[in-house]
Amino acid sequence: MKYVFGPVPSRRLGRSLGVDPVPLKTCNWNCVYCQLGRSRPVVNERANYYPPEEIVAEVRAALARHAPGQVDWLTFVGSGEPLLHEKLGWMLREVKAMTDVPIALITNGSLLYLPEVRKEVAVVDAVLPTLDAGSAEVYRQIDRPHADATFERLVEGLVTFSREYRGRLWVETMLVSGMNDGEEALRDIAARIREIKPDEVHINLPTRPPAEAWLEPPDDESLMRAIGIFEEVAPVKAVYPLVDNSINLSAYDSPVDAVVGIISRHPLREEEVLEALDRWAPSDVKEALSELESGGRAQVVVRHGTRFWTAAPSFFPEASGPV
């Protein structure tokens, strides 16, 4: 399948059937921690990136292959920023009409300042926007946004959306060592969370290969500090890596297509790749991985001694310091 993948295990959404409405790294942010590499270039224009009718048809076909209870959530989560697809609202309404499976949207939230975007998004059951900073300076350092995607617009959109939205609003914060895990930075974020009034705050850690080689996850003390500060203003869920990393690849006929279909949105540790491909013979898996790397359809990125398989077009510079 071209636009639908999984189900994949989600730390928040159980067995999540992913829907990807935009091409790889079509994004108005260039986050230092992005598991899909750098955005080149950063774009902020809404467009009809993929045919919406094809995406909806693929969702329908994917749902038909799974029995009731096998999919916990349908998650619109781009390999870029899903709100940049100008027909996202139409797709969300069409999918909502075809299934009782709840729909989630994972977004950076930068376009929620637009009334028409807030109206499009209102039909889903849960929205998970990003808030990595409590000040414009830290926002620019971590999320490295398009010039038009200002911090003021981000917060304005999240506050207004929270007032209007009737579904579940779960704000996500990615903690990055030395950037937003100190007390001052965390209290700045907490002040914005108090304004937004989400149902929950989800604290994430960079467990996948970050775009920048110099990036480090916070230590346990910083994580506990963040939990304590955020709990003063909203319910907090600290999101840890799953123990069960099983990924459903039943939609694919070959191990090569299976790996490419997942890593374009969800980079995998090498052991996860081998586990996910266990329905194929070991010799076929070995041959497939060799073909992927030599044929330029995938690449291996090493972060902190761990090998990750990710999409070939993703750009992971081996920089030694902040860029």
Largest CA distance in the chain: 56
Calculate the CA dihedral of residues 191, 29, 162, 237 and round it to 10 degrees.
-70
Distance CA 176, CA 205 (A): 7
Per-residue pLDDT of the chain (323 residues; tens, 9 = 90+): 899 998 888 777 889 999 999 999 999 999 999 998 899 899 999 999 999 999 999 999 999 999 888 999 999 997 999 999 999 999 999 999 999 999 999 999 999 999 999 999 999 999 999 999 999 999 999 999 999 999 999 999 999 999 999 999 999 999 999 999 999 999 999 999 999 999 999 999 998 889 999 999 999 999 999 999 999 999 998 775 544 455 666 667 788 887 787 787 778 888 888 887 887 888 888 888 888 877 788 888 887 778 888 888 888 876 334 44
- The two three-digit tokens of residue 296, written as one number: 């330029």
* Cis amide bond preceding 206, omega within 30: no
Q: How far is CA 314 from CA 3, 75, 191, in A?
A: 17, 22, 35
Q: How far is CA 125 from CA 12, 13, 93, 144, 311, in A?
A: 14, 12, 12, 29, 30
User: Nearest 5°: CA angle at 119, between 116 and 124?
Assistant: 140
Residue at token pair 């266990």: 278
- The two three-digit tokens of residue 45, written as one number: 């224009």
- Residue partners of 32: CB distance under 8 A and separation at least 6: 141, 142, 144, 176, 179, 210, 211, 212, 215, 322
Sign of the Cα pseudo-torsion (253, 8, 18, 36, in order)? negative
Task: Determine the pLDDT at residue 201.
Answer: 97
Contact 161, 118 (CB under 8 A): yes
**CB neighbourhood size of 175 (10 A):** 25
Among 223, 238, 227, 246, smallest CA distance to 10 is for: 246
SS3 (DSSP) at 223? helix
Report pTM.
0.83
DSSP assigned state of 12: T
Task: Determine the pLDDT at residue 308.
Answer: 83
Task: Determine the pLDDT at residue 8.
Answer: 83
SS3 (DSSP) at 4? strand
Task: Determine the pLDDT at residue 242.
Answer: 43
Contact 187, 134 (CB under 8 A): yes
Task: Determine the pLDDT at residue 287.
Answer: 85
